Amino acid sequence: MSDEEHHFESKADAGASKTFPQQAGTIRKNGYIVIKNRPCKVVEVSTSKTGKHGHAKCHFVAIDIFNGKKLEDIVPSSHNCDVPHVTRTDYQLIDISEDGFVSLLTENGNTKDDLKLPTDDSLLTQIKDGFGEGKDLVVTVMSSMGEEQICALKDIGPK
């Protein structure tokens, strides 16, 4: 054994709490997986059998849940993959600021002002039009791995 001491540079956050391990062979379509440090939703899984002493491999095709980019990964089915913790929370929309940020009402009555309007055009126009008409809107915010984005909209009726 070596007598040298190993020094590791400590980084602020290892990101371990944002994901949990799951065996690649157990991840199914519509599940979540981390590919290239991005949380993704699996759209296709195919398993290939290999030779005598090889591993069966899982080929994942997934779409980034925040920017919609298609990513692929191939992992031996017996190995563990990172699976992101994905949470969805509903907030009532209070206001839309000029600079593209939304003001949301949380369940405990506080406001959440750090979210931008979604980049998805159809959702963006639905939110702006509904808000302009004075409707009571509830937005669904998806959060994973330290990122948050508005992903859906519900109309609860006029104010």
Alpha carbon separation from 16 to 34, 58, 158 (Å, rounded): 12, 23, 43
- Beta-bridged to residue 25, according to DSSP, are none
- Residue ranges and CATH numbers for the domains of the chain are 19-84 (2.30.30.30), 86-155 (2.40.50.140)
pTM: 0.76
Chain segment 42-57, per-residue pLDDT in tens: 999 999 887 777 788 9
Chain segment 71-97, per-residue pLDDT in tens: 999 999 889 999 999 999 999 989 888
In whole angstroms, give the CA distance from residue 125 to residue 143: 22
DSSP, res 73 = E
- The answer for residues whose C-beta is within 8 angstroms of residue 36's C-beta and 6 or more apart is 71, 73
